[in-house]
Amino acid sequence: MGIKSISAVMASAALAAPAPLYAGTSADVPAELQTKIDEAASVCGEMDGGTFAMEDTAIQRVDLDGDGDEDWVLNESAFACSTAASMYGGTGGTMSHFLIDDSLASMLTQGWGMAKLGPHTVLLADVHGSQCDGINPTPCVTASVWDAEEKVWRSTGASWE
Ligand SMILES: [Ca+2]
């Protein structure tokens, strides 16, 4: 499925420009993430015929839920469009897409990482200060844990007293 969708994008790109849209996409990228890549490339192409590029760091294999199997992450921070420097980001950061089995969830972050807390595998994200009732420079992070039964990320604000 990855190979098929890549060739479809390449074919449509060939109409506008002979150069390949992007390099470094492996054929085994899950369809859910390939769709996000294709959408980003399409939006770039519509922006004055921009050329889309993606660094290898865009796709990461990480065990997000702590079950021992590597899951998938797609970071739009590693996307670039030749005709629009800030197309994939803003002051809030860039979108990262987290895929566990066939459950895709996305978050706007300025960076993210994983931590272990007791039995939990925790996704930490640096987010816009407005999410902490502040402004952009206000330090603000969020922590999320995967609920394998309900197939959703769980997070809350702290109950500080
Ligand atoms: Ca996993």
pLDDT mean over 71-92: 92
Question: Among the listed ranges 2-11, 44-53, 95-104, 139-148, which one has the minimum average pLDDT value?
Answer: 2-11
- Backbone phi and psi for residue 108, each to the nearest 5 degrees, phi listed first: -85, 115
Mean of the pLDDT values across residues 147-160? Answer: 96
Contact 21, 41 (CB under 8 A): yes
Give the pLDDT score at 64.
98
How confident is the model at residue 26, as a pLDDT?
Answer: 55
Q: What's the pTM?
A: 0.81
Mean pLDDT lowest among 15-24, 51-60, 135-144, 149-158: 15-24
Torsion of CA 150, 117, 56, 52, to 10 degrees: 50
The mean pLDDT value for 31-37 works out to 96
Predicted pLDDT of residue 27: 61
In angstroms, what is the span from residue 142 Cα to ligand 1's centroid?
A: 20
Q: Examine the pLDDT at 14 and tell me if it is beyond 70.
A: no
pLDDT above 70: residue 19: no
What is the dihedral angle through the alpha carbons of 151, 123, 115, 30, rounded to the nearest 10 degrees?
70
Over pLDDT 70: what percentage of the chain?
Answer: 83
Please count the helices (runs of H) and the strands (runs of E) in the chain: 2, 11
* Rounded distance from Cα 72 to ligand 1 centre (Å): 9
Q: How is the chain split into domains, by residue range?
A: 2-154
30 Cα to the center of ligand 1, angstroms = 15
In the reported structure, the alpha carbon of residue 61 is separated from the centroid of ligand 1 by a whole-number distance in angstroms of 9
Query: For residue 90, how far is its CA from the centre of ligand 1 (angstroms)?
Result: 30
